[in-house]
Structure 1
Amino acid sequence: MLASPAPGVRHLDGAQNPSMEIQKRAPAEVQVGLPATFTLLVRNVGSATAFDVAVHDAVPRGAKLVRTNPTAQVDGNGKLLWKLGEIAAGAEQVLTVELVPEAEGELGSVASVTFAAQASVRTMSTLPKLAVKQTAAESVLGGETVRVQIEVTNTGTGTARGVELEEDVPANMRHASGVSTLGMTLGDLAPGESERVEIELTAVSAGQAVNKVRAISTNQAVCESSATIDVVLPKLAVQLEGPRLRYLERQASYRATISNTGTAMANNVGLTVYLPRGMEFISAANEGTYMPDQHAVEWSLAELAAGAMASTEVALLPVQEGDFVLRMQGSADGVNSDPIDKKVQVEGQSELAFSIEDDNDPIETDGYTTYLIRVSNTGTRMDSEVQLVLELPEGSRSEQVHAPVNHQASQKAIVFAPIPAMQPKDQQVYRVSIRHTREGTHVVRAQLKSKNRPVPVIKEESTQVYSDN
């Protein structure tokens, strides 16, 4: 074998210089028909072993081959071949050929020797291999800094050349440089050698942060490592419950709730409700504090666990008509809730009140008494189409009527025209004199209705009528 995929023996290392010498000898004279012996001498005159040594010769023209020693391979054309294998430096091999001449004349042939020189070389094949290890806290509070320890080790058998370290900053974290990918040069790492670096990252939003680190060398060694850091953060949500429609001077209560929907404890929790100009502060539960300079109510809570909620109440008084907005917001260390707005419509309310009384009771039959009816708007809103109707008992009839509007009288009733409008605090007075002609208890019924109060409100006044007969 002239070539091998594995290193050869040690003596093949270095320069190899085999050199073969061949020499043929023949008798000075041979005779036809008589055997004659020819000799071939093959000698390695070099300094290294010759491999695959082969001697080639031919049976001379005019002669017949008898035998060879050692035995040669003979083909149909009389070609001779000796495969001698290895011949060490300084060694030699003698070959003999016995021939019988068959014709007169010059007899001979040309022989040649071939060989191979073998040289071996060896080296050590190595493989650099990088390993990356990350060490960091399993969780970090939003807004705080986490230190990531990174160790790069060459666990292979060869030197890792020109090692570079790359780090992808997680989306919910930030590096002081502001870049999204960090790069560091570590240089060459011999087998078993390690380099350590530290990276500081600031958590900016909640969720799992996957920190990816890659170590790359110029001679093809690559390793990637991922570390998961759970960023926990309180998250506040607020809710304000209460009436959307309220009337002037009618107290309104609102329930304020703050919830921690995040993954960490919220500390130094504050809840603030900002009041509109049309509503005045009355009271607050749970030690709520009214701040006149901000026209707001504030509550404080030392902490609120993740998943917990707290509620309180505030009482307000609408003092002005219009559309207003209550605004509420929660806060804690490092976090604020989204503000919410609660719309409130404040309206005035008409409130009709009336009374009826007689000025003479009891009376004799066929006598009369005067009924005084007072109608007032005690509310905060105008009312319109305010109408009074008096129902008369049998045996009674109206005598005199003094009223702010026209009227129509019949045997059974007095119907007054509607008052077009009554502003807050307005009052109207009706005076009606009625004659009663029958003995007994007579009941005058008054009905009052308006645009805002279409269902009549009824009041009655009874008068005792007696006879002297």
Structure 2
Amino acid sequence: MNVQLLRRNCALAAATVLAVLTAGCTAQQQARSKSAPPPASTPAPTPAPEAGFRTARAAFPTGNPNTSVILVEKTVPTEVLAGQPFEVVYKISNLTDLMVQDVTLHAQAGENFKAEDATPEPDETSEGKATWVIGDLPPRQSREIRVRGSALEEGVVTGCGSVTFNPVLCETIKVLKPAIELVKTMPAQVIQCDPIPVRLTVRNTGSSSLTDVRVTDSLPNGLLSEAGQSSVAFDAGTLAPGQSKEFAFKATAARTGKFSNPARVTSAQGVEASAQASVTVVKPVLTLECETPALKEMGNLKFTEFIGRPFQVCWEVKNTGDAPSVDTVLLYALSPELTLRSATDGGAVVGGNVTWNLGTLAPGASKKVCATLAGTRGGDYRLSAKVTGACAEPGMTGCNVIIQGISAILVEVVDDPDPIQVGEETTYLIKVTNQGGGLDLQDVVVKAIFPDGMAPGAASNNAQVSGKTVTWPTVAALPLRETLTYTVKGKALKAGDNRLQVEVSTRQRPAIIEVESTTAY
């Protein structure tokens, strides 16, 4: 609004109000200045006048209530008796739909009026003048001021007043506040092989709508989405005040540890928010150790046990991780050369394996189980075992047992012909048989040693002749119930009882000596 126009209207309003309210004052003063009428004869007493009221109205600044701002109404009695109290009422009304400010009523009473009280009390009084500061007058609202007093003597009571105000044009603009909230939730702890559920909730906490709302979550190193991505994004579109949307995805962990990262939400209105959550990824770690009996010693032999005799092997499982191992199972692959006599903790043969169901193994816990075995065949055997658990990498171990067979060797030597004449030859048939208790003979060496009255001749199987000794090549292993057969010729050099000595040696035992007598004449 133009400031000069506003001031002009205010001045016009104040002047008009003052003029109207003081009009009665002027008329009364003029009436008082006329000459008094001549005395008249005394009439009969006149009854007291009936009380009546009159109201003066004025609309400002145009005089038309339909186009004005303030309506002032003053209600007074038409007549009063001297010394009797009466009341004057001012009513000031705002005719507009706008706030009117600085509304003030100024009133002045003549000398013939004695004021007693007013409602409300005036804000200021001075030399017969009273001022009421009404202040702001809301649209279509009114204020009343009541003044009570009495006339001092017969005559007239003159009261004048004025109203000033400032019309104000007000327009309300609704102010909205954009605000957004993001909440991110993850479980406090998960096992590594389980997916990590992530939930993102975005909510419009302001009073304005938000558009182009977008949520992003950049995963930390070591976490990926199920699609193998290191970042996920969601479009929430438009959110009305108070509206929320929820998004969820699952992440996988490549390692154990604590992971923390903030998610972020943005909008076209420039408001944004972030939210952070943490998850600790744990994992069971299984280790497996094998324990066998101390080796026995016999001569130059070291072994676990003889064939057929029982011995005990134990395995200890430990969970060195930071998560429980659920459904923990220990498997020992039973060797064909070994038989199970018994097992602790419910171990049983299932599909060629001795199996123990160990259940749940807490972090730091361990479990020891044992099996009693017996060997059916001599040899060095590897005992391989494996432990598994939910979300745990298998633990592997192996240990060896040596089953000692009972070696029994049959050495047979036959000469044909016998006797022979000096200068003639005989053939020696040599047989070496492994007839022992489940033990392969190893590093078998056969030698034939001729006496002075005999000379060695041709020998089978690539035997080597050195002087009076014939040696056959070493046989690495002679299985159970198997036989080595050799032949060698011998020539009689002189008459007499000539004895051939055959020596058979193996890794398992000292040499066995067999003697065959040949008579020469």
- The normalised TM-score by structure 2 is 0.41
Task: Determine which structure has the larger helix proportion and give its number.
Answer: 2
